[in-house]
Homo-oligomer: A and B are copies of this chain.
Amino acid sequence: MSAPYAEPMDHREDRARPPSPPTLRDVAERAGVSKSLASLALRGDPGVGEARRASVRQAAEDLGYRPNRVARALAETRSGTVGVLLNDLRNPWFVDLLAGLTAALDGGGLAPVLADSFTARRIGRSAVDQLLAQRVDAIVVVGTTEDDAPLREAATSGCPVLLAGTYEPGDLDADVVVNDDRHGAVLATRHLLDLGHRRIVHLTGPGEVGRLRAEGFRATAEAAGLPAWTVAGGMSEESGYAAARRLLEDKARPSAVFAYNDLAAIGALSAAHDLGLEVPRDVSVVGYDNTHIAAIRPVSLTSVDNGTFAIGVQSGRFAIERISGRIGGARVHRVAASLEVRRTTGPALL
């Protein structure tokens, strides 16, 4: 057994292929200090001499040391992660919001962990359970979710819960960050009224958010002497398509459709197209969320901008506060809504 070379190094590296990653102890030994000092030095503790620090840093560098986050999480009993509960990654609104959320979390040394309940549902255990098992330090619920019970459980078990773009579940003192849904709907409805539309239908969506948007629509329509015509339209492209199709097939079809969100609005566009109706000549369509899909030129959907990025950022800030301090709970932060007019809305033909 002639060793290829008599390497006088520690026996971690002379092993065959699977070299277990270097640990803090390896670094400490190589630098000739104790583990705790190595830890302090690497984490920038002010009470460590420059010389020591440099040699520890060097040793870490040489060994290609990476602090093991799972060990750290166990020791700190906090993982430095926050769970983000989405319910469908295909909804671009979630993705847009995530950008703002991640940016804010990063400022607090936190990293997002994604979980879409759509995926988790197949698996049996709820997405919330998965997150809790991972010991996330907080959970941000993005948009409407069905995962009610587990969430309630999480909140009472001490895990801070933040609501972004939704009010549900309402009975767990969570901070909520939303846009002014009622006013957003007012803007959309006024826009259609200004274009001369008199037969406007609103495709309603779920939750308090859906209720507020419907309320804004109803108030504005009725103030203009119109009936508050609403039909359930869901929050997906498919459901929006189905609802719009039924409406547009009818003799007495609406001249304008204001949908709960962009996805449903796109479904409505599809329905119009399939029925040979031209947008906006035969029917105008307005969405909500102003996602990047709405901005795609072949779509060019007029949509209410709800400050998606800002909502993400504020949710992240709230999360940081709840995790570090003990501030917060049941706050409501409302972001302004505005209307982005594109090419799916036009004057009513009468």
A71 touches B74 (CB 8 A): yes
CB-contact partner of A95 in B90, B153, B273, B297, under 8 A: B90
Binds B, one of A12-20, A27-35, A176-184, A303-311: A12-20
Interface of chain A residues 157 through 176 with chain B (CB within 8 A): 157-158
Q: B-contacting residues of A (Cβ < 8 Å)?
A: 17-21, 64, 66-71, 73-74, 77, 79, 89-90, 92, 95, 98-99, 102-103, 106, 111, 113-114, 119, 122-123, 129-130, 132-135, 153, 157-158, 237, 266, 269-270, 273-274, 279, 292-293, 296-299
Given contacts A19-B157, A77-B20, A135-B68, whether A95 and B102 have CB atoms under 8 Å apart is no
Closest to A92 in B: B90
Query: By the criterion CB–CB under 8 Å, are A157 and B64 in contact?
Result: yes
A67 to B133, CA, bound (A): 6
Assembly stoichiometry (copies): 2
Asked whether B135 lies within 8 Å of A106 as measured between CB atoms, the reply is: no
Interface residue from B66, B74, B270, B296 paired with A237 (Cβ < 8 Å): B296
Residues of B within 8 Å of A132, CB to CB, are 21, 66
* CB <8 Å contact, A70 and B79: yes
Return A96 CB to nearest CB of chain B, in Å. Answer: 8
Q: Would A114 and B114 count as touching, CB distance under 8 A?
A: yes
Q: Is the CB of A270 within 8 A of B296?
A: yes
Q: Is the CB of A106 within 8 A of B122?
A: yes
Task: For the complex, give the distance between the alpha carbons of A18 and B132 in Å.
Answer: 15
Cα(A197)–Cα(B307), bound, Å: 44
Question: Which residues of B sit under 8 angstroms from A71, Cβ to Cβ?
Answer: 74
In the bound complex, what is the Cα–Cα distance between A292 and B238 (angstroms)?
Answer: 12
Which of B64, B90, B273 is A298 in contact with, Cβ under 8 Å? B273
With the chains together, A269 CA to B296 CA distance in Å? 9
* Cβ-closest chain B residue relative to A270: B297
Say yes or no: A18-B158 contact (C-beta < 8 A), given A103-B122, A113-B113, A266-B298.
yes
Q: Which residue of B lies closest to A17 (CB)?
A: B158
Chain B residues near A89 (CB-CB < 8 A) = 89, 95, 98
Task: Give me 9 A-to-B residue pairs in the complex whose CB atoms sit less than 8 angstroms apart, sorted by A's number.
Answer: A21-B158, A70-B73, A74-B74, A111-B130, A113-B113, A237-B296, A266-B296, A293-B293, A298-B299
Q: How far is the CB of A310 from chain B (nearest CB, A)?
A: 17
Chain B positions within 8 Å of A135 at CB level? 68-70
Q: How far is the CA of A66 from the CA of B98 in the complex (A)?
A: 27
**Chain B contacts for A21, CB-based, 8 A:** 132, 157-158
CA distance A123 to B79 in the complex (A): 18
In the complex, which residues of chain B have a beta carbon less than 8 angstroms from the beta carbon of A237? 296
Q: Quick one: given A89-B95, A113-B113, are A133 and B296 in contact (CB under 8 Å)?
A: no
Q: Given A102-B119, A122-B103, A158-B17 in contact, is the A70-B134 Cβ separation under 8 Å?
A: yes
